[in-house]
Structure 1
Amino acid sequence: MISGQASVMESIRRWLAAGERVWLCTIVETWGSSPRPVGSWLAVSETGHWSGSVSGGCLEEDLLQRTAAEGPVESILIDYGITDGDRDRFQLPCGGRIRLLVEPLVASDHLPHIERVSRALSERQPITRKVRVGGGMGLIGADGNARNGLAFDGQTLVHTLQPECRLLLIGAVEVARHVAEFASAAEFTVTLCEPRDTFAEGWQYPHIPLSRRLPDDLIAEDYGDQWCGVLALAHDPRVDDMGLLAALQSQAFYIGAMGSRKTSEARRSRLADLGLDAAALARLRAPIGVNIPSKTPAEIAISIVADLIAARHDLRAAQASL
């Protein structure tokens, strides 16, 4: 499943390969409140298709109209929210302002560049783009000065793109349903793992990807790199422990398990008996989530996703500084 930046870049690649012109809009600066963070993308094709988002919809409409009227022929900056009229027209919150870099792309000049970026993201490798206002782009090594992956000095954008964070949720239970919904809204890519027939067949949410495979096999193949998280939510040691044993020997940035403190200590003891050392067990977040404290499935899911967001922020900040 492709989402987020990888999805936007793949859309651009497909449109360029079909001979369409494309405009890539990147948020490079914000002031005050902003509906989307710095680094967010919107790509628009000359036939009016679009991918990504830079606002709640008001700026997208204006950008679609601009590109429908031919659009810029070189990279330019566009500011929104400068005047009171802007704020009224585009409904930017609390006096917020957004600056966008808009890049025109054509297959003859830019398709190889886009293909390299798309390939890196699909292979889950960080890659850094450098774009100058007025024209010119290239790919460079990671820039340690890029705050949150993006640096802009008014003329040159240096944008470090990092792989999206994948989550594997083990167990088709009510908490997993809420975690999947909230985490997807927070731009994690989510898959549910449920090898048990009764639970898998009773799952009523077809929009959430479901795998019937064993969790250790999935982790070994697709969820073991540093951009992955594994959450054991089944409340069944036969399933949870299998996944945790594999995850704790992987590079996954987040590994958590649902249960009380007593249940968590019993789980650690079982995993130690299976050969995991103290360093591996120290990576396990159990009980999972921040202490709000939570009781209902939705509350538990909120505490889990809040902890995931904080861990992802730390991961991205650490990688951007390398």
Structure 2
Amino acid sequence: MIIYQPAFLLGLLAIPVLIAGYLLAQRTRRAYTLRFTNLELLRSVLPRAPGFRRHVPPAMFVLGGVALLGGLAVPVLNLEIARNNADVILVIDVSGSMQATDVAPTRLDAAKTAASALIDQLPGDDRIALISFSSTATLKQPLTTDHGAVHAALSSLKPGGGTALGTALELALSQLNPVSRTASGVQPRPAMIVVLTDGVSNQGIDPQRVTPELVAARVKVQTIGIGLRNGNATVGGEPVGGVDEATLTAIASATGGKYFYAQAAGELQSIYSTLATQVGWQFQQVNLMVPLLIAGISLVMLGAVVSLLWFRVLP
């Protein structure tokens, strides 16, 4: 919640003082009544004492004042609302270098765990697809709202082969019906491709060739590099290369996405959690000023009406 005029909240400090003053006045009034009032005459005129009703109007005035001060402070509530009917395509590198253990337990296992958490965070109406790529790209799970099926496909991923990033991007785009997305006057479904890789594309299509098609189809691509920077990761005793950060950054930037880098499993999970909120949820601000002002005025007016109705004879 954001408070735009917090100075008005200082008025709440007067509330305890007013309550204490009211209680003191009630105590003084009671003592005066017992000392100077003919109780028998009072009972004959007022058979039933006001009791707790005496305190209802003041309570309404106090609550109304609190609501009015709250409204004048202009509080704005940030609500997280599910953005339904989005398409998310997870594209995961399963090349041989993903067996490296510099990101524990292995790069691929860390990726699978983080991607699984992302799937759990997305709204149930979102469609998710899974593509793996090594020397070629494979559609492991077409777009579906059955998130359990995506989990199953994710758990089946095995490492081995080269890195065909461009081919994987082209396959991902084909799942999003790019022809209809480029039609004028059409508002396409929110869509995001999340790519994770640990190396340089060395097979298939050049990733930069696919980028203009992604831009035309209005598909945002989030790219993630994984592995220790300047590390000495090896697989089977052979050193593995680093991430092509320049290409990943260019793809993300051109499509309106962002490039991330993860050197640990915890960082990777944090990245995927952030991405889940970007496509699966949207934030809506609700200004509470008017409702609070209406509530405050209503309580004050209701308190005045109740006071007049209940205490017309002896307030």
Q: TM-score normalized by structure 1?
A: 0.34
Q: Using CA pairs below 8 Å that are at least 6 residues apart, which structure has the higher relative contact order? A: 2
Larger Rg: 2
Instruction: Select the structure that is richer in helix.
Output: 2
Structure-2-length-normalised TM-score? 0.34
